[in-house]
Amino acid sequence: MKIIDARGLACPRPVILSKKAIRDENLTELLVKVDNEIATQNLSKMGTQLGFTAKVEKESEGNYEVTLSKRDESLCEIMFEGDKSEYIVAISSDEMGRGDEVFSKTLLEGFIYALREQDILPKYVVLYNLGVKLTTINKSTVEDLKYLEEQGTEVVSCGLCLDNYNLKEELKVGSITNMYRICELLRLYKVVSPC
């Protein structure tokens, strides 16, 4: 049985690592070690969606094991198939939601990481207002956006926004666009917006 030690990894990494292992290695059994109860719940839900049963054991405080065992031969389409239509991601902030600033920034970084791990990648990632910080000064998101770009996603940042925040010279991934093009993209495609 394959074992993944995902202790210390923030959401959504334990789920992403497990899903990739199941898919790429065609696993029928998997043991995932995590350090929090929320991760056990997320892994259990993912397992159910993929046609696995989940058994959770608490070894000690901060040490859990989730055993996923395949219940049938066909994987559920929701995790590997889903809607295959083209979409774009529009990001207008360097935070996801409203709340604690540091936590909200961490959530958005987790979203960008999860985005790069999707089976169907966006056609465009469009960044405007404070979202342009993700293509300039946020090292974590710059790396994830570079990965997306290498896979064929076009990453575009608003030039006026880059100018407003004095970040035009800091652009590290993607290209500069204008509000007319942003408006056009938002009108033409299904839009996912985490902010």
- Write a three-state SS string for the chain: CEEEECCCCCCCHHHHHHHHHHHHHCCCEEEEEECCHHHHHHHHHHHHHCCEEEEEEEEECCEEEEEEEECCCCCCHHHHCCCCCCEEEEECCCCCCCCCHHHHHHHHHHHHHHHHCCCCCCCEEEECHHHHHHHCCCHHHHHHHHHHHHCCCEEEEEHHHHHHCCCHHHCCCCEEECHHHHHHHHHHCEEECCC
Which pLDDT value is given to residue 53? 94
Domain ranges of the chain: 2-78, 87-192
CATH number listed for the domain at residues 87-192: 3.40.1260.10
Reported confidence tier of residue 71, pLDDT bands at 50, 70, 90: confident
Reported confidence tier of residue 83, pLDDT bands at 50, 70, 90: low
Quick: pLDDT tens for 30-41.
999 999 998 999
Task: Classify domain 2-78 at the CATH topology level.
Answer: Translation Initiation Factor IF3 (3.30.110)
